[in-house]
Amino acid sequence: MLRVFGLDLMRATAILLVVFWHSADVLRAAVPGIALPPHIDGVDLFFVLSGYLIGGILLRNAAMDGAPWHLRLLDFWQRRWLRTLPNYYLFLAVNIMLVLAGFSGGIINHNTWIYAVFLQNLYKPVDLFFWESWSLVVEEWFYLLFPLLLFGIAALGVASARRAYLVLALLFIALPMAARWALAPEAPSLWHLEQGLRKLVITRLDSIGWGILAAWLRIRYPVAWGTARWPLLAIGLLGMLGCAMAYGAEHLRFSGTHYFTLNAVAMTLLLPALSAWSAAPRWGRAITFISLISYALYLVHQPVRYVFNRWFALEREAGLLLPLLVYWAVCIALSWFVWRYWERRFMALRDGIGERLLRAG
């Protein structure tokens, strides 16, 4: 697949933000009084970008002639699941072992099985361990439901694939927004909001939905998409900064409702400019590399942190800088190893399986 540097930049920025904020406590301890930037959520960047990329694939897939709809749906699923599930199950096993070995403070009990079928944060939080998996659950349910409804509606002849796509995109935006408004009053503190509403499938699908809508807009209004890209980029960057600065306990109602909508919209506005930046500059190799290993890095960085916590606990202030740098280096090296020798091997199977599926039709 042809790489687009601007989208690689968006993906690399997302994962670097995630790892940075998950190790920012060590940086604060190493450099007391350091001024950190506003907390821009890297996971939301992932959601919007994922929706945009998946949306483009689905629009092309739904418009294909020849193969029956159910085979095109199966082809979409096998490609997504060979991309996402091998890493997920590998690190589910890693996180279970870390809890059993005493490196992680999580809990293994009779509810652990729900992690195998992505139920740990469908409609209520079950925070036993492997806490970063919540975002993967949101994405997997989107990958399951949206294409199933899209191809099902098109097969029934109720509407064209492109019209069904637009209606579903708007529904996947509106329904989670409504769920957040209903549940926000139940969060008495920012901690409750972070552990609950922020991480539930039923309240977060809209972040991916905005990316899905952006893919439709790019195809429907290509001229406006291109000509408005720079003003939209400026508005998007300012919007992200404003949302990051407004999010917090002092604006709890906003943080549980409008924040997620406005933040996702602001991130969506980056797409016209970034999707037009196709060629990587000379300095872009590192960005492309981080983008390639981003999924592995998302899953690697927390288990590595559990192991490094014992070293962090032994150091004080400036002495923490060395283990922090080593932590980042180990995370990147292990992520490359996982991408090169595990993740990529499964992804290489997708084209062959897809060809056999579509030939069967």
3-state secondary structure string across 169-195: HHHHHHHHHHHHHHHHHHCCCHHHHHH
Residue 36 backbone zone (phi > 0: left; psi -120 to 50: alpha; other: beta): beta
**Neighbouring C-alpha atoms within 13 Å toward the C-beta of 68:** 8
pTM over 0.85: yes
Rounded Cα distance between 20 and 146, Å, is 32
Is the Cβ–Cβ distance between 58 and 147 less than 8 Å? yes
Six-digit token string for 339: 């991408």
Six-digit token string for 358: 């579509």
C-alpha distances (whole Å) from 191 to each of 36, 194, 197, 262, 327 are 20, 5, 10, 21, 27
Identity of the residue numbered 169: A
Sign of CA dihedral 156, 80, 71, 144: negative
Residue 315 backbone zone (phi > 0: left; psi -120 to 50: alpha; other: beta): beta
Taking residue 128's Cβ as centre, other Cβ atoms within 10 Å add up to 18
The three-class DSSP label of residue 102 is coil
Q: Which of 262, 232, 235 is nearest to 246 (CA)?
A: 262
Q: How far is residue 210 CA from its own chain's centroid?
A: 13
Written as tens digits, the pLDDT of the chain (361 aa) is 679 999 999 999 999 999 999 999 999 999 998 999 999 999 999 999 999 999 999 998 877 666 788 899 999 999 999 999 999 999 999 999 999 999 998 999 999 999 999 999 999 988 899 999 999 999 999 999 999 999 988 888 777 888 999 999 999 999 999 999 999 888 899 999 998 999 999 999 999 999 999 999 999 999 999 999 999 999 999 999 999 999 999 999 999 999 999 999 999 999 999 999 999 999 999 999 999 999 999 999 999 999 999 999 998 888 999 999 999 999 999 999 999 999 999 999 999 999 998 887 6
Locus of tokens 């919209």: 265
